[in-house]
Copies of this chain bind each other. A is one copy, B any other.
Amino acid sequence: MKRASTLALAALSLAYGPAALRAQPHPAQTQAVAARLRDSALRSDRAFELVEQLTTRFGPRPAGSPAERAAADWIAATLLADGFSSVRIERFPLKVWTRRAESCKVIWPSEQPLAVTMLGGSPSTPPGGVEGEIVRFSSLEALAAAAPEILQGRIVFLDYVMPAMQSGLGYALATAGRSQGPGLARRGGALAFVMRSAGTARDREPHTGLTAYQGAWAPLPSFALSPEDAEQLARLLALGPTRIRLEGSAVIRDGHSQNVIAEIPGATAGREIVLLGAHLDSWDLGTGAQDDAAGVGVVVAAAQLLRDTGIRPRRTVRLVLFGAEEPSQPEAPGGLYGAHDYARRNASAAGDHVIASESDLGSGRIFGLDLPPAAASSGFASEAASLLLPLGILVDPELPPHGGADMLPMQAAGVPVFLLKQDASRYFDVHHSAADTLGTVSAADLRQNVAAWAALIWLVANSEATFR
């Protein structure tokens, strides 16, 4: 695929001259170039190659880890070598939570191990672990309504089953349990909190993720069972009282993470910024191939294709590869350390950001585009629709868009966002678990993603639409 891609790009070069940046083409050419970018992307495996490099060279890239930093250095060097402008690394401090060891064992009615992982931010248990009888709830509401004496001295088991959905919407309820469950359990005097993983596969892999905090740590030792182990525990409970022992240890230290930024400077409206993002950090269990090396691969490959045209777009295209999207602390609830750092540094420049979006839902195919309400019925929307239809993407003007988690701080500052909606049916099978590795990434789906991003970003960057 590498050879086909090189040939395609050579053809593009031939059509538009050598790769030195030239002035913006006539507006009538914009649509034609966007279509050509789209079709070139479908013949290139650059995104997959980037995902392979990131996940192989650096493995898991937890926020604040040496691996996350090495990955940032490497991708910055790549972008510099590719001829991007203003390539820079912006460092910021954070609290680094690091998992040491964890285990779970049924003690009664029979001894057997269960596959478990600590939620991010969980405090350690005492050495030797905590042991207690299980009290099970099938929803957060039932846990919230429980009398304290039912929880006192027990281990709370939140057994919410997350449905697989194309939109990924099932995740919202599961994360509500993950963030609020430990606090509700502690309120009643529970010893520990364990939940069925926020995941949709039926296997032995537990899924981690952030919870809510009281001070530096989560309020209780907090764990997630694999879906299969949660079902085993529920079956044991159906036979009678069940006791388990949970053990986990983790440390928190001060550290740093960083955002990597690179640009294609705009020709005639260079002050106006079109922002495309993804995040470099991952959870520690897998290699973060879906979350979010895939997103990094897609937006970097799309930006490379734009750069390869040798034509300067009207507006500046800015690529931001965020650090520390995943972990949460009291000073950054909901995670997004890197996004908050970017928003702080760009507080006075929010008005220069024309539109922004992030690729952060894995490698699943894109099936829809949400545009800001102001653009939904504009000429821009119909241009985008005709460009994206051949990729199987419908423009949906119904919903106010969500631009990806790392866009939330800039969105709060008034920056419009769009969303290329991906099929998340299988994303939560592996998300935040050890199963999030290269083997689950489809090169063909990545090509379709890059095609949509490259075409759409070209269109936006050469448009005069304001989206506000």
Contact = CB atoms under 8 A, between A and B. Distances in A.
| Leading 5 A-B pairs by shortest Cβ distance | A59-B112, A202-B439, A56-B235, A204-B434, A228-B439
A438 interface: yes
A434 B112 contact: no
What is the size category of the interface that chain A forms with chain B?
Answer: 35 or more
A232 interface: yes
Given A115-B434, A232-B438, 17 more contacts: A52-B235, A55-B232, A56-B232, A56-B235, A56-B236, A56-B239, A57-B110, A57-B239, A59-B111, A60-B112, A60-B113, A66-B111, A70-B110, A203-B439, A204-B205, A204-B434, A232-B287
A109 interface: yes
B205 A112 contact: no
Give the one of A109, A236, A434 with max B CB within 10 A.
Answer: A434
A291 to B, nearest CB: 15
30 contacts: A52-B235, A56-B232, A56-B235, A56-B236, A56-B239, A57-B109, A57-B110, A58-B112, A59-B106, A59-B110, A59-B112, A60-B113, A67-B111, A70-B110, A112-B287, A115-B434, A202-B439, A203-B203, A203-B205, A203-B439, A204-B205, A204-B435, A227-B439, A228-B437, A228-B438, A228-B439, A231-B438, A231-B439, A232-B287, A232-B437
A205 B115 CA distance: 12
Contacts of A437: 204, 228, 232
A223 to B, nearest CB: 17
A57 to B, nearest CB: 6
Contacts of A67: 110-112
A401 interface: no
A113 B235 CA distance: 32
A112 B287 CA distance: 9
Contacts of A52: 235
A435 B439 CA distance: 17
A70 to B, nearest CB: 7
Given A204-B205, A434-B204, A435-B203, A58 B110 contact: yes
Interface string A225-269: 001100110011001000000000000000000000000000000
A235 B52 CA distance: 9
Contacts of A287: 112, 232
A286 interface: yes
A54 B258 CA distance: 51
Nearest to A70: B110
Nearest to A437: B228
Contacts of A227: 439
Nearest to A203: B435
A203 B239 CA distance: 32
Interface string A22-62: 00000000000000000000000000000010011111100
A427 to B, nearest CB: 16
Interface string A432-468: 0011011100000000000000000000000000000
A437 B56 CA distance: 30
Contacts of A55: 232
A55 B106 CA distance: 13
Nearest to A59: B112
Nearest to A56: B235
Interface in A110-142: 110-113, 115
